[in-house]
């Protein structure tokens, strides 16, 4: 084989590789973490303050996977809890949960039917008395 054929094969291989990459990038749908990211960004300082307050006061959320689902436990009786569960790879699996408006609770169970195996991002906001707390944690549900 002479150098002309090698050059033609190399150029053709490179062109096919580029065409394949263009095809792959056009078939992937870009998933945003959330559609209202701009409004959330404006209120982000409040979340930072609530997260720092949770660290200072020793308030935390713990996750325990049990047979019925995922149990979220708080180290105090909390009220006005909102949980946003985001699945990075599929926004159809996202959840928005709220509880504790009527009476304080110390734990919450997310049923197996609401979660599928994979990574999730949990953003939990809660109150103890007049103080508002926030926590963001990643968890791999199995």
The closest of 108, 61, 115 to 87, measured between CA atoms, is: 115
What is the pTM (predicted TM-score) of this model? 0.72
For 99, other C-beta atoms within 10 Å of its C-beta total 15
The rounded radius of gyration (Å) of the Cα atoms in the chain is 23
Helix, strand, or coil (residue 46): helix
Instruction: Note the pLDDT tens digit of each residue in 15-54.
Output: 999 999 999 988 887 776 677 778 878 888 889 999 999 9
Decide: 75 and 57 in contact? Cβ < 8 Å.
no
């Amino acid at each position: 084989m002479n150098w002309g054929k090698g050059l033609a094969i190399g150029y053709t291989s490179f062109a096919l590789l580029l065409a394949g990459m263009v095809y792959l990038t056009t078939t992937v749908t870009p998933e945003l973490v959330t559609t209202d990211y701009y409004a959330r960004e404006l209120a982000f300082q409040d979340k930072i303050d609530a997260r720092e307050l949770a660290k200072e006061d020793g308030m935390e959320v713990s996750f325990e996977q049990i047979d019925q689902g995922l149990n979220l436990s708080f180290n105090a009786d909390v009220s006005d809890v909102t949980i946003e569960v985001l699945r990075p790879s599929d926004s159809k699996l996202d959840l928005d949960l709220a509880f504790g408006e009527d009476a304080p609770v110390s734990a919450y169970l997310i049923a197996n039917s609401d979660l599928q195996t994979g990574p999730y991002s949990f953003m939990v906001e809660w109150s103890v008395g007049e103080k508002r707390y926030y926590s963001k944690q990643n968890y791999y549900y199995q």
